[in-house]
Amino acid sequence: MYLSHLLLHNFRNYIRETINPHPQLNLIQGENAQGKSNLLEAIFLLGMGKSPFNARSREIIRWGQEWFCLKGRVQRRDHSLEVEMTYKRDGSREVTINGQREENISQLLGRINVVLFSPEDLQLLKGGPSFRRRFLDLQLCQMSPRYFYYLQQYRRIIQQRNMLLKDIGSGHTPGRDDLSVWDGQLIQVGTGIISRRQEAVNKLAPLAAAFHRKMSGDKEELTVKYRPSIAGGGERSREEIAADFQRVLTAARREELKRQYTMVGPHRDDLAISINGKDVRTYGSQGQQRTAALSLKMAESHHMEGEMGEQPILLLDDIMSELDARRRQFVFAAIQGKGQVFISGTEGDEFAPGGWGRRYSISQGRIGVG
Ligand SMILES: Nc1ncnc2c1ncn2[C@@H]1O[C@H](COP(=O)(O)OP(=O)(O)OP(=O)(O)O)[C@@H](O)[C@H]1O
Ligand SMILES: [Mg+2]
């Protein structure tokens, strides 16, 4: 699929700009602080309904304005699609898909598939488990509305269950029977999330390893393993996951009543990522961490393509400046013919002379072609 038209209106530092991107390679060039990342953020937002950095609409609206509007037209294999969104300063928003108003923002998911790699993604390797859970959730939500629904439900269950644990802890007893009702729901919905994450990691791990191997000139073996908080991971059926969940929850009961929050479940999952057997977070060099993050993102893109039958739009924010010449060459070769790609950078196209579909140069929120 590819974005054929984009309008930005009062979005960050853009007053009103439109572009008609190339179906394949788009180079976004500009000096620092001109609007390159903002442009990629806008495309991500059209796909996900929210900013990749969890920015609120009032941060995104151009300073001094009351609303921003984004419009995107996308060509998919067998149909085209127009998404328009207006977000106001008071937090209200209006989203239309093909001119039809959608009340629920989740209707956007899966319409315009995006994979964003930004400098912040180094947190995948350096940061806490929540970054790695988010990595899985973002792709799974785009591939499966059901997964998104599970996540929403799961959040609600955790909230309710934590409230109940607090009530019991402070002597107000609705009782432990109620707790076991919530346990049942926690396990049911949680098992759905865990089995989908497990399935995703099984597909992602070999893809990421293959990419990383090539990037490192066959020197490094990247291993990605799912670490669910309720068990050791590996291949497990839904029944086994549910049984594990029940067992771990029972074992944690006393501690949970003491601490008054839900201590086990998908909200505590993690990924274990290592290179040549050594944990990347603890032992990886900067370059290794960067390469591993990129490998994970490229794997995400391939994974989505495999599941959806179409390549997602790839947004690569400022990756080339961090890579040595050999790795740049490799990345450039890897994205050729890989659907629509937007790559931003402060340099020109020195790293990839020729072969660009379209070049954009950005200066103070104005987009020029060529
Ligand atoms: N809501 C907003 N209204 C107006 N301007 C904004 C808003 N939010 C951010 N900006 C400005 O947009 C400018 C461009 O930001 P952006 O992150 O896109 O730069 P960039 O081209 O990616 O630069 P770099 O090469 O440093 O990453 C910044 O100077 C920032 O202050
Ligand atoms: Mg930037």
pLDDT, residue 171, reads 78
Q: Ligand 2 centre from 209 Cα, in Å?
A: 28
Nearest protein CA to atom 17 of ligand 1, as residue: 37
Q: For residue 69, is it within any domain?
A: yes
172: confidence class by pLDDT, cuts 50, 70, 90:
confident
CB of 63 within 6 A of ligand 1: the answer is: yes
323: confidence class by pLDDT, cuts 50, 70, 90:
confident
Residue type at 125 in one-letter notation: L
176-205 tens-digit pLDDT: 668 889 999 999 999 999 999 999 999 999
pLDDT at 26 > cutoff 90: yes
Q: What Å distances lie between residue 213 and 33, 88, 185, 223, CA to CA?
A: 34, 46, 42, 11
* pTM of structure: 0.94
11: confidence class by pLDDT, cuts 50, 70, 90:
very high
Percent of the chain with pLDDT over 90: 79
User: Domain check: are 140 and 285 in the same one?
Assistant: yes
User: Domain check: are 181 and 60 in the same one?
Assistant: no
pLDDT, residue 353, reads 57
CB of 57 within 6 A of ligand 1: the answer is: no
Of the ranges 17-21, 238-242, 346-350, 358-362, which one carries the lowest mean pLDDT score?
346-350
Q: Ligand 2 centre from 116 Cα, in Å?
A: 13
Q: Ligand 1 centre from 60 Cα, in Å?
A: 10
Q: Ligand 2 centre from 32 Cα, in Å?
A: 7
What are the φ/ψ torsions at residue 32 (nearest 5 degrees)? Answer: -60, 150
pLDDT, residue 176, reads 61
Q: What is the average per-residue pLDDT within 257-272?
A: 95
Task: Please tell me the total count of domains within the chain.
Answer: 2
pLDDT at 352 > cutoff 70: no
User: Domain check: are 261 and 336 in the same one?
Assistant: no
Ligand 1: residue of 9, 16, 34 to mutate (most ligand atoms within 8 A of CB) is 34
Q: For residue 191, is it within any domain?
A: yes
Question: Residues for the chain: how many in total?
Answer: 370
Lookup result for tokens 């089995």: 195
pLDDT, residue 12, reads 98
Of the ranges 176-180, 232-236, 304-308, which one carries the lowest mean pLDDT score?
232-236
Q: For residue 120, is it within any domain?
A: no
Q: For residue 100, is it within any domain?
A: yes
Find the ligand nearest to 32 CA: 1
Q: What is the average per-residue pLDDT within 267-290?
A: 94
Of the ranges 41-55, 277-291, 293-307, 335-349, which one carries the lowest mean pLDDT score?
335-349
40: CATH: 3.40.50.300
Q: Which atom of ligand 1 is nearest to the CA of 59?
A: 1
Q: Which residue has the higher pLDDT, 175 or 154?
A: 154
Q: What is the average per-residue pLDDT within 215-237?
A: 89
Domain termination residue (choose one: 309, 326, 353): 309
User: Domain check: are 255 and 359 in the same one?
Assistant: no
Q: Ligand 1 centre from 355 Cα, in Å?
A: 28
Of the ranges 45-59, 117-131, 163-177, 302-316, which one carries the lowest mean pLDDT score?
163-177
134: CATH: 1.20.1050.90
User: Domain check: are 187 and 102 in the same one?
Assistant: no
Q: Which residue has the higher pLDDT, 103 or 320?
A: 103
Write down the mean pLDDT value for the chain.
Answer: 92
Q: Supply the range of the domain harboring residue 243.
A: 125-309
pLDDT, residue 349, reads 65
pLDDT at 351 > cutoff 70: no
29: confidence class by pLDDT, cuts 50, 70, 90:
very high
Burial of 195 from C-beta contacts in 10 A (0-12 / 13-18 / 19+):
middle
pLDDT at 47 > cutoff 90: yes
Lookup result for tokens 């001109």: 34
CB of 29 within 6 A of ligand 1: the answer is: no
